[in-house]
Structure 1
Amino acid sequence: MQVEAFASIIDADRLRQAAQENPKLRDMMVRYEQFFLAQVQQTAACNAAHSVRARACKWLLRMQSLVGDDLVLTQEFLAQMIGVQRSGVNAIAQELQKLEMISYSRGHIRILDRPRIERLACECDAAINAHYAEIFGS
């Protein structure tokens, strides 16, 4: 998990059995697998084609959409999520804070100006969201 939340687990054999017995569940799992593979492909292309700043902004927007304006995370964790060294994330965090787009203190980031961060982010999160909507509906 990337952020604190509640989760449930199920034994793989029980899930497999439930999917065999419930066509709607099986269909949803197949569609989710299609979405997940598309997301992995988009992420690989993003990591190869876009700047560290654009990827960091994309990731911050994604996390804000999931948990709100206050993100509990370290620069090390963010660096792992976007596939760079922590020093690269540190420079970006300092830049975004200087521009008053985020506030950052040890292990906490607060999004202050989403529209400006959106302008710096790559289009990959929007592409992933569009693919999700195509597969699952809005």
Structure 2
Amino acid sequence: MVHPQQATIRNRLLRAISSEDFSRLAPFLQCLELAVQTTLIAPDRPVEHLYFPESGIFSITANGPEGGVEVGMVGREGLVGAVPILTGSDRIPHDHFVQVPGRALRIAVAPLHEAVEESEPLRALLLRYLQAEIVQIRQTAFANARFTIEARLARWLLMCHDRLDGDEVQIKHDFLALMLGVQRSGVTLALQNLEGAGRIRSRRGCITVLDRALLEALADTSYGVAEAEYARLIEGA
């Protein structure tokens, strides 16, 4: 049986929990509209809230002197802040912020902890989600080590496409370069190559996916493993 409020939820993780467990969380969920580059969890600071995205894209970055590199991406399939809280910590050395503006359901740490302590099925589901997130991060390392910039860009666009409504990704080239950990000139050339092959259309601040199948062919095995793991673990596919 589905909780009445649960039927209107777009977050796939919240939709996967039982009606009873959703009832534990529902009174503490606060809907927020989040602007681009809003910091949700700052590096090495106590985590106070977690976020179940309903729309938009949220990046996890490792930061250095030359800027940040994306090491994880969360959208409406997941939970922002899962790693430190579910592993018994209260902080993490990575930045969590809004990459594409959207909406999220925010919950304070204490009621989520209480719900997890009261419900073994909820704990098990969130730990399975944690595994799916770890697989995504490891696939990112694999892609960065073994694939060309064009293939990595194709993978990144597919991941964004999975989390957005429509075919447009609103992002600037210099920001995309930081996310992929490459020079801006490399991103520009890669975008030109993808556009020339009919895979995308690139305009200032906006990339439109034209042919998803061609992007998947280019991304090859860098894309799909994490997505299949999420479906298996969370949705029983």
Same fold at TM > 0.5: yes
Equivalent in 22, 43, 47 of residue 119 of structure 2: 22
Counterpart of 2:66? none
Is residue 55–residue 122 contact of structure 1 (8 Å, CA) maintained in 2? Answer: no
Unaligned runs of 5+ in 2: 1-57, 59-98
Question: What is the CA distance between 1:40 and its match in structure 2?
Answer: 1.2
Q: Any gaps of 5 or more consecutive residues in structure 1? A: none
For residue 189 of structure 2, what is the amino acid of its counterpart?
A
Q: Give the structure 2 partner of residue 128 of structure 1.
A: 226
CA deviation map 1:8-67 (0-9, x unaligned): 222212211111012222111111111111211121121111111111011111211221
Moved over 4 A (4+): none
Match of 2:153 in 1: 56
Name the structure 2 match of 1:3. Answer: 100
Q: Which shows bigger deviation, 117-126 or 102-111?
A: 117-126
Q: Greater helix share, 1 or 2? A: 1
**Alpha-carbon displacement from aligned partner over 1:53-82 (angstroms, at most 9, x marks no partner):** 111011111211221311111112322332
After alignment, is 74-83 or 21-30 more displaced? 74-83
What residue in structure 2 maps to residue 80 of structure 1?
Answer: 178
Q: Which has the higher strand share?
A: 2
Kept after mapping to 2: 8 A contact 1:50/1:122: no
Pair 1:102-2:200 in alignment: yes
In structure 1, the partner of 2:167 is: 69
Matched, 1:118 2:220: no
Report the Cα distance in structure 1 between the residues aligned to 2:196 and 2:215, rounded to whole angstroms.
13
CA distance in 1 between counterparts of 2:108 and 2:167 reads: 34
Distance in 2 between residues matched to 1:121 and 1:54, nearest whole Å? 5
Distance of 1:65 and 1:71 partners within structure 2: 11
Measured in 1, the distance between the counterparts of 2:141 and 2:174 equals 20
- Equivalent residue letter for 1:111: V
Shift of the alpha carbon at 1:124?
Answer: 2.2
RMSD, aligned CA: 1.5
Figure out how many residues of one structure are paired with residues of the other and give that number. 138
For residues 88 and 44 of structure 1, what CA distance do their matches in structure 2 show? Answer: 19
- d(CA) in 1 for partners of 2:228 and 2:197? 29
Which of structures 1 and 2 has the larger relative contact order (alpha carbons within 8 angstroms, sep 6+)? 1
User: What SS does the aligned partner of 2:106 have?
Assistant: coil
Q: Give the TM-score taking structure 2 as reference length.
A: 0.54
Report percent identity of matched pairs.
Answer: 38
The one-letter amino acid of 1:11's match is A
